[in-house]
Structure 1
């Protein structure tokens, strides 16, 4: 099932996520839905807060096309070597910024079967893991870049959300007006 992706400005994206208490069928289904949503949105990673769930879980698929699930992950090691890479985010569509991150990481997590694993990752997969892991702590990639860029981006998304809310209110008012007219017509017919 394709899930709705939260956008910058929604509170869940800034919360520290809670650990997953138990890896059960519900969590496995959520992992499958997250992978499906990520692929549908042309993403390479998706964290649970991005679909409105404040739990410590993310999915990823790098250039090796392996779909991975990380439940209660812990990054236990990062390389001293760093690199810049232009990052984007499904929760901040069409906004990109060059972000500096370690080129290698070691992460421990549970998979969708609840089994623990340790993964050494480099390149794109290492970057995805760090990006999605940040989501679990309420950190967005724009927080790791230029402060002025982050403030401008947040302001843009706030304006977008306000415009969308205003349009929704106008649409609701119009629907109420039409419903009232229809009700008045029906009342005249009954007389």
Structure 2
């Protein structure tokens, strides 16, 4: 495992649609492990492969608190519902935070690192993180969805769940 350099805006890598993964091997496992280590070192809760320079449809979300790491290979959104506006940040946009509207609920289909298919439903903050990461795989950046830029002093909280650093 290795900590990789996080690609920051305005890199054109971040604006490209990623290719589907068709080989489920040790290299993919190493990528997922490196992504997790990189995300933890950067104090994030999610990371997409293009954020470390890999243009493949792979992303992770780790909500912490003993929850398992969500590894998404070739994720597809199959349903969304509701709507909420919350503050987000992004590891590829250091220091930028903004209010972003996203669905409250999401259902996805994705593959595990071994290629097996799974379905996942999530709500609230977890749904937001999943959708943020899937946007990265499509070359969609959160700054294009910001309704209002937020100064970090506006959302400091005890529980730390008022911001999203992917």
- Could you tell me how far apart the structure 2 residues matched to 1:74 and 1:109 are? 6
Aligned to 2:71: 69
Displaced runs of 4+ in structure 1, greater than 3 A? none
Native 8 Å contact 1:57 1:69 kept in 2: yes
Deviation at 1:3, TM superposition (A): 0.5
Deviation at 1:146, TM superposition (A): 3.7
Native 8 Å contact 1:98 1:145 kept in 2: yes
Q: In terms of Rg, which structure is larger?
A: 1
Instruction: Decide which structure has greater helix share.
Output: 1
Deviations 1:143-173 (A, max 9, x none): 11249x6xxxxxxxxxxxxxxxxxxxxxxxx
Instruction: Answer 1 or 2: higher relative contact order, Cα 8 Å, separation at least 6.
Output: 2
Deviations 1:78-122 (A, max 9, x none): 00x111110000000111001010000000000112111000011
The residue correspondences of 1:1-191 to structure 2 (distance < 5 A) are: 1-64=2-65, 65-79=67-81, 81-146=82-147
Which consecutive residues of structure 2, in runs of 5 or more, have no partner in the other structure? 150-166
Deviation at 1:52, TM superposition (A): 0.4
Alignment RMSD (CA, Å): 1.3
- Could you tell me how far apart the structure 2 residues matched to 1:141 and 1:31 are? 22
**Number of residue pairs matched by the alignment:** 147
TM-score, normalised via structure 2 length: 0.85
